[in-house]
Structure 1
């Protein structure tokens, strides 16, 4: 560390400055946390970077999702506390923590212009000549594929949206109850054989054959747009738009506190216009989540109409439910019985330390066929390959 934590003269001042940095980044810390952190540092060997880190972490971080913010701020601040204001701009451009905010419509939040405005400060910091050391040692293409959507720059988000448009999702065909003529079919089509014989005056002809007809299954996406999903809902709606315009029998719903069918809105091939219309129509953006109620509404009003033979349902949510998981298991079980496959796409799986602690997560897990991460392009490509039957 460029700044030595063990300097007793500047340490209290630096700790207070560090707490202000965390508060500016969105962590719920105040003056009381500064005192607690200072006392914790008195109890450890502050010349040890490891002990110094965990003393601050244990007193200043209260939620698991704030960990990556703290780690980034720690690296930036204790390297150069006097240049931290510039570093904070870059940090805020890469890390968005859900906070309380007035209710507003979503079109601006869904637009590339809004993303660029939110992150313009970070772009200026990156262009200033002093590169913030938050990059991985991979090629640009690999970084874009493996970088978390939440941490992407505006340029990387544009590349991600373009990649989504090119992503091929060729769903594995499923057999229907209908038959089709097939010269190599295993079944004899007796009706067609008799008709052919009558037309030829009874002369014997080769047997007409048939096989089971196949077709692409229905694909239904149920996407959580609550506050905890804000960073992912925005980019995943671009993915849903690409799916809707690339194939038929694709349906998309969003839910926060209520369920809304946005399939027709996404049929517009202009993605910006389509998402503007979605933003004007949907009223429960980035608020609470009622997963059980949303699944129940789908089961009641849409399940029988849409979930034909072989249907695949993608449930995009982090499983954090404001009602403590009430009704989720029952409704998820009903949904599972109505479709061929229920796939849960969970951005929280990006954490290696992920554990099903929340009630909603524990209720969902036993009722799904697959539980997959959905936080970067690589995870979407893996999903497409799995649904297409490719490896």
Structure 2
């Protein structure tokens, strides 16, 4: 008897019909894992035990019990709900359920929603064959290398919103490799340097005291040069949820690569997540972020969030020529009330304000929203952020000094 079968028997699922239920729970866990949720052996065992505490004929309580033990992060809730509705209609009808999810997504949006796409791929994915070592004389055909290269190139330009679970995982690995060498700026601090251009009078007098007051040599100093602070204000509303999920990996990598990086998330309220993103392990960092961010995938109040930042955080984090990344699509539920004034104040408080908007990925984009029109005159750069290529272009842009307002696709 396998470990899962033993656990099912101990949990009371091994009776009449219980074996099939335990097998279905195991299959449901495999579906969630293929769709990108971190569901392992422990979560499946916990799900079996949870079902012994609720009536199985109550669909609502069954759903709540499984969700409580199999979902760890807020952004996985919607995908779990879709998987639950899809799988527990008929666990055996894989292809029909996948096609149904795709058709439902096409009716609503004209294209499959990202969650349904990943679930459809997870449902239709064949089980991997047993591992066996390849024959010694078998050689990899050269066409496979070309296909791998072209697939990697395609991943660079692919929209984050259309990526599958496997492509998202590969994109996260690529994001962690990005390096952000911001252009260095002179600070008010000096350090001793024998070849420095400036005489350090205080150090010279201090050295002369060791020689009885005789000035035998002049001490010199040089101004300290370091990258400016980087401040990121990231929108986590419903329309930005998929992009914010991947951009958090970018912010986590930058935070752990350099000093003076400050990250804020906003939807209906503003949350400082700088301390949480400093944790080296990304999964632990994002788990900590999910505990303190209550408005993920909710509404958007850009003007109110910027006002709160300007009032409470600007003086703390925008010193020494800070660069600000404003990541939002500009769609504010409050319209444009106070948005122009707060964006202008933010622009005056920093050296460079870069607005990253995924809507720029569309050809022929026009700033018709009131929020976009209110913010656009007060930014230095207006760039898209929807793919790995756009992130690399952003890194290259931030690494060089630039003046004036620019529009970049």
Residue in 2 that maps onto 1:244? 255
**Cα distance change, pair 280–94 in 1 and its aligned pair in 2 (3 A):** farther
Deviation per residue, 1:172-217 (Å, 9 max, x gap): 2221112122222222222222333343345553432222112232
Q: Following the alignment from structure 1 to structure 2, what is the Cα–Cα distance between the partners of residues 380 and 96? A: 30
Q: CA deviation at 1:327?
A: 0.9
| Root-mean-square deviation over aligned CA pairs | 3.1
**Does the 8 A contact of 1:93 with 1:121 survive in 2?**
no
Residue in 2 that maps onto 1:323? 334
**With structure 2 as the length reference, what TM-score do the two structures score?**
0.63
Among 192, 202, 215, the residue aligned to 1:181 = 192
Q: CA deviation at 1:117?
A: 8.2
**Does the 8 A contact of 2:232 with 2:263 survive in 1?**
yes
Give the number of equivalent residue pairs.
286
Q: Answer yes or no: is 1:122 the counterpart of 2:115.
A: no
Q: Following the alignment from structure 1 to structure 2, what is the Cα–Cα distance between the partners of residues 258 and 225? A: 10
Deviation per residue, 1:37-74 (Å, 9 max, x gap): xxxxxxxxxxxxxxxxxxxxxxxxxxxxxxxxxxxxxx
Q: Following the alignment from structure 1 to structure 2, what is the Cα–Cα distance between the partners of residues 214 and 177? A: 9
**Does the 8 A contact of 1:182 with 1:210 survive in 2?**
yes
**Cα distance change, pair 345–232 in 1 and its aligned pair in 2 (3 A):** same
Among 182, 192, 212, the residue aligned to 2:223 = 212
Q: CA deviation at 1:274?
A: 2.1
* SS, match of residue 139 in structure 1: helix
Q: Following the alignment from structure 2 to structure 1, what is the Cα–Cα distance between the partners of residues 326 and 115? A: 28
Residue in 1 that maps onto 2:285? 274
**Structure-to-structure mapping, 1:1-391, within 5 angstroms:** 89=101, 119-125=118-124, 139-201=150-212, 205-389=216-400
Q: Following the alignment from structure 2 to structure 1, what is the Cα–Cα distance between the partners of residues 401 and 102? A: 39
Per chain length, whose mean CA-contact separation is higher, i.e. which structure has more relative contact order (CA < 8 Å, sep 6+)? 1
Q: Following the alignment from structure 1 to structure 2, what is the Cα–Cα distance between the partners of residues 377 and 95? A: 29
Q: Following the alignment from structure 2 to structure 1, what is the Cα–Cα distance between the partners of residues 387 and 338? A: 30
Q: CA deviation at 1:249?
A: 1.4
Q: CA deviation at 1:116?
A: 7.9
Q: Following the alignment from structure 2 to structure 1, what is the Cα–Cα distance between the partners of residues 122 and 271? A: 35
* SS, match of residue 180 in structure 2: coil
Is there any run of 5+ residues in structure 2 with no aligned partner, and where? 1-94, 128-146, 403-409
Q: CA deviation at 1:257?
A: 0.9
**Cα distance change, pair 116–331 in 1 and its aligned pair in 2 (3 A):** closer
Q: Following the alignment from structure 1 to structure 2, what is the Cα–Cα distance between the partners of residues 93 and 379? A: 27
Q: CA deviation at 1:89?
A: 4.6
**Does the 8 A contact of 1:189 with 1:208 survive in 2?**
yes
**Cα distance change, pair 319–333 in 1 and its aligned pair in 2 (3 A):** same
**Cα distance change, pair 344–158 in 1 and its aligned pair in 2 (3 A):** same
**With structure 1 as the length reference, what TM-score do the two structures score?**
0.66
Q: CA deviation at 1:235?
A: 1.3
**Cα distance change, pair 389–376 in 1 and its aligned pair in 2 (3 A):** same
Q: Following the alignment from structure 2 to structure 1, what is the Cα–Cα distance between the partners of residues 107 and 258? A: 34
**Cα distance change, pair 261–204 in 1 and its aligned pair in 2 (3 A):** closer
